[in-house]
Structure 1
Amino acid sequence: MRNGVIAEVEPLPEYRACGEELPFVGPGLVDLHINGYAGMDVNEEQPQTETLKRMSRAVWKEGVTAFCPTIVTNSDVQYRLMLQNITQACREDPAANAAMPGIHVEGPFISPEDGARGAHPLQHVTAPDWTMFQRWQEAAEGRIKLITLSPEWPESLSFIERCVKSGVIVSIGHTSASPRQIADAIAAGATLSTHLGNGAHLTLPRHPNYIWEQLSSDSLHACVIADGFHVPASFLNVARKTKREKLILVSDAVKYSGMEPGEYDNPLIGEVVLTSEGRLHLKRNAQLLAGSAQMLPHCIAHMVKHRICGLAEAWESASVVPSGLMGWSASQGLSAGAPADLVLFRWDGERLDIEATFKNGINVFTRK
């Protein structure tokens, strides 16, 4: 590695050195959907710049070298506060700026229906509004790179077209859209599905329904939360077979990831419960998940343990594939000239352990 990039790649002739098996090396993990981690929350009621600075470093221990801080449905005023907070953190701190190359706005232009809306508060759900979005983008100084919306609103198509023209990736999620509305959204430029299989009604028609429509589209990449709780292994297997190189693993991690099991009060969505198994749900309705308490290494391990795909493919779905969708240079993976965002890790067939993380060629985390 030289000057922050990979200078050359040379395979070792031996797999062992000094009698000790060497760890794997992979591209840095890229998570398009992180709401929080280890008690830190992107969606704080009173946004704190220091939270973002700490979080951008804390995720290094998970092998994450780039992520989209994700803000969820809230008021227009609160959105601008949160966006200004992220932007200020990136402006003041080079490490935060390098770790957060784009912001993900999830809502409020989503379905108002129960189930499809998920844990997003109904009072702030609204139709797509380009003037409002421009205010947000101004507060973010152009850092919004991804937006999740539902194409069921009459205003959706023109909004999608404007987003795409401005360089923002549009993702379909938290939707109750019809097949026609989904097809029109794809034609207008939508290229992604947000946590496909989640943010959905508990009961759907066998067919047609909006999950089948997105699964069958060759134009859409698909994000999935492979934590073992959000969707079953059978769904992940189908998603992998239909999407192949367009499958993306995301964590959808919230502030309770990395914390002890128990009940916690969330000022935005109410009380949540983190079980000893690692499942996070709303206390008022255990059937409704409240985000994930697992990070990408766990999701990769889950994919491999259930034989949905091999280790290399699962890792790429959490690194070079999301980078490629976003147009980031990390999509070059382990090749000369690519950013030296690297992770050393061990895999024992059950558990994936991060040993070291490098960001721009600098060792930023080493497990002791």
Structure 2
Amino acid sequence: MTTVLTHATIYTGHEVIRDGYLRFDQQLQAVGPMSDYQPAPSDEARIDLTGQTVVPGFIDVHSHGGYGYDAMDGNADQINAMVQQMTANEGVTTYFATTMTQSHQNIATALQAVHQAATTNPVIQGIHLEGPFVSPVFKGAQPEEYIEAPDLTAFKAWNELAGGMIKVVTYAPENPGSREFERYCLAHGIVLSVGHSNATRAEMKHSLATHVTHLYNAQRGLQHREPGVTGHALLEANLYTEMIADGFHVYPDMIKLAYELKGADRMELVTDSMRAKGMPEGTSELGGQTVIVKDKQARLTNGHLAGSVLRFPDAFKNIIQFTGCSIADAVQMSSGNQAREFNLTQKGSLTVGKDADLNVLDSDLNLQMTFSLGRLFTPARVNQ
């Protein structure tokens, strides 16, 4: 059935329509001001959204898990259940399941499971391979015993098992063999992302990467005599930078600094969430490591941050609070940039012909409902 949302403030990703309507089934059929609205001759479900805001569905390109599940569990049914929770409770309508540094067999099993899950769940549009080709100096929560230099043979086999779904790979470009690895990825449309890296600015300049994993975190930081990964990311206008906007991974003032330097066009909100998201606080697990969740923070027993329990709607609200950016800029950072960078041609904006992926927010920007390919989802616990 066709659905029409009326009298909403609509952020299309290109313009703002203050009193507008959207008509859609699985794809968007019409978007415009209410002055252009004409009721359809056939039946359609009409929802009055007076006082509410519509934005494109959120795109999370870096998330390991949530709601008790993790991509590394290697279970397609559980991955599907996890992603459905993210769609309903967080408005995530496009998702890149993210792996982590583990044994070759565990990575292979996870990739196969994600590929299988994606055959029945169109929200899953890609895979983010985080590790194992990273640096032990900035391993973060990546288990050091499995860290290695790029293994192109293994990577080719993984991408085949994944059905070509690997869209982005986090690696350390200072590792031996990185140039050959980079050339293969570029030839196969895989975005290169520097993360968990001890690279200097000079080494970064020789890299072919165009993306930086969770800016500031688990990377050689900005120093007055060595810009490192962070300084390079802030200086180079072409680099996309992920941001975990929970206020714990990065101090809010440093998020604002990145926003002032990069602008809304090169920052992408991610959650980097792990299985404990959406679950009661206490003991959890990440990559075989014990994680303690307390006060909305997930930490290993040594105190290091281990992913997050950040919900995407909170990241959306936080980026506005931390930087003073507009809702339109937040839309760019939560969907538009991801769609452009990863060539998600049917996603990222509310344009006629694109997939009907959209979120309805109240006056406080709390998520009220989500439409994914036109299918309605509502949060189980609104505003939590």
Quick check: 1:102 aligned with 2:151?
no
Q: 1:330 to 1:22 in 2, by over 3 A?
A: farther
Is 2:235 aligned against 1:216? yes
Cα distance in 2 for partners of 1:102, 1:127 equals: 23
Work out which of the residue numbers 62, 70, 95 in structure 2 matches 1:41: 70
Instruction: Verify the 8 A CA contact 2:347 2:355 in the aligned structure 1.
Output: no
Question: What displacement does 1:128 show?
Answer: 0.6
Q: Deviations over 1:41-63 (max 9, x none)?
A: 1112xx22210111121111210
> Cα RMSD (Å) of the superposition?
2.2
Contact kept, 8 Å, 1:233 with 1:308, in 2: the verdict is no
1:312 matched to 2:339? The reply is no
Q: 1:363 to 1:19 in 2, by over 3 A?
A: closer
Hey, what's the Cα distance between the residues in 1 that align with 2:167 and 2:199?
23
1:166/1:119 Cα in 2 relative to 1: closer, same or farther (>3 Å)? same
Secondary structure of 1:159's counterpart equals helix
Partner of 1:176: 198
* Aligned-partner SS, 2:33: coil
Asked if structure 2 preserves the Cα contact closer than 8 Å seen for 1:119 and 1:269, the reply is no
Aligned equivalent of 2:78, options 51, 55, 58: 51
Among residues 207, 211, 227, which one is paired with 2:225 in the alignment?
A: 207
Q: How far 1:19 sits from its partner (Å)?
A: 11
**2:19 matched to which residue of 1?**
none
Question: How many Å separate the matches in 1 of 2:195 and 2:379?
Answer: 36
User: CA shift at 1:331, angstroms?
Assistant: 4.5
- 1:7-46 matches, within 5 Å, as 7-12=29-34, 21-44=50-73
* SS, match of residue 29 in structure 2: coil
Q: 1:274: how far off?
A: 1.1
Question: 1:329: how far off?
Answer: 1.7
Is the Cα–Cα contact under 8 Å of residues 240 and 266 in structure 2 kept in the other structure? yes
Q: d(CA) in 1 for partners of 2:279 and 2:196?
A: 27
- Deviations along 1:78-119, one digit per CA (max 9) or x if unpaired, are 11111111112223x2xx2x1111110000000011xx1101
Aligned residues: 347
Match of 1:343 among 355, 359, 380: 359
Q: Distance in 2 between matches of 1:207 and 1:66?
A: 40
Matches within 5 A, 1:1-368: 1-12=23-34, 21-44=50-73, 47-60=74-87, 61-91=89-119, 93=120, 96=121, 98-113=122-137, 116-185=138-207, 188=208, 190-200=209-219, 205-208=223-226, 209-244=228-263, 245-264=265-284, 266=285, 268-276=287-295, 278-284=296-302, 286=303, 288-331=304-347, 333-348=349-364, 352-365=365-378
Partner secondary structure for residue 214 of structure 1: helix
* TM-score normalized with structure 1 length: 0.89
* Unpaired segments ≥5 residues, structure 1: none
Scaled by the length of structure 2, what TM-score is found? Answer: 0.85
Alpha-carbon distance between aligned partners in 2 of 1:269 and 1:179, rounded to the nearest angstrom: 33
Q: CA deviation at 1:308?
A: 3.5
In 1, Cα distance between equivalents of 2:49 and 2:261: 39
8 A Cα contact 2:111 2:158, kept in partner: yes
Q: What secondary structure, in the 3-state scheme, does the structure 1 residue paired with 2:135 have?
A: coil
Cα distance in 2, alignment partners of residues 39 and 362 from structure 1? 24
Structure 2 letter corresponding to 1:223: E
Given that 1:73 and 1:124 are in contact with CA atoms closer than 8 Å, whether structure 2 keeps it comes out as yes
Q: Is the 8 A contact 1:321 1:331 kept in 2?
A: no
Question: Percent identity of the aligned residues?
Answer: 30
